Amino acid sequence: MNIKIGIIGVIVALFTIATFTLLDFEWLRLHSWALGFVLLSQLVFFGGLLGMPLVEKSHNKVFFRAGLSTALFLYFFSTAIAVIVFAWFFPVNLNLFILIHIGIIAFFSVISILVQTFSQKLTAVDEKSHAAVNETKAKRGGF
């Protein structure tokens, strides 16, 4: 499964680079930054998907996997939408473009940290409740 995700990630990155280089438009500094942010979002998205099984051993698997994959996908999607909107409507406003992408990165970094923290807390609560149930279990023949 991890090899397939890695191969898909490489194909998507190559497709992105080919799309940026083969489209016929005037190349501005914004387009270089846009390509960089899109490639960064792809790296984070596919790297997060590849690294998730390594980290989820100490976390609540359902919450961690669902929360982190959703956050990674939304980060990737919001970066792509921001690049498209800025490339067509505001091609000369590079500083605002960079500021918005820094905000997107910060927002989804906080969301990812919150997902990780909550999944660790859920695991701790689950372990405590399992320990309490096993501790209060009646012995054979007891009440």
Tens of pLDDT along the chain (143 residues) come to 678 888 888 999 999 888 888 876 677 777 888 888 999 999 999 988 888 877 767 677 778 888 888 999 999 999 989 888 887 777 778 888 889 999 999 999 999 999 888 888 887 777 787 777 777 665 565 55
Cα dist from 48 to 8, 10, 71, 89, 142, whole Å: 13, 14, 10, 31, 50
Residue 142 belongs to some domain of the structure: no
Residue 40 belongs to some domain of the structure: yes
Q: How many structural domains comprise the chain?
A: 1
Residue 140 belongs to some domain of the structure: no
Domain that holds residue 124: 2-133
Residue 139 belongs to some domain of the structure: no
Which one, of 115, 27, 113, 44, lies nearest residue 79 by Cα? 44
Residue 40 structure tokens: 């960064």
Q: Please state whether the predicted TM-score (pTM) of the whole model is above 0.75.
A: yes
Residue 138 belongs to some domain of the structure: no
Residue 64 belongs to some domain of the structure: yes
Rounded-to-integer distance, Cα 82 and Cα 10, Å: 22
Residue 143 belongs to some domain of the structure: no
Question: Looking up tokens 């996997």, which residue turns up?
Answer: 65
Rounded-to-integer distance, Cα 6 and Cα 4, Å: 5
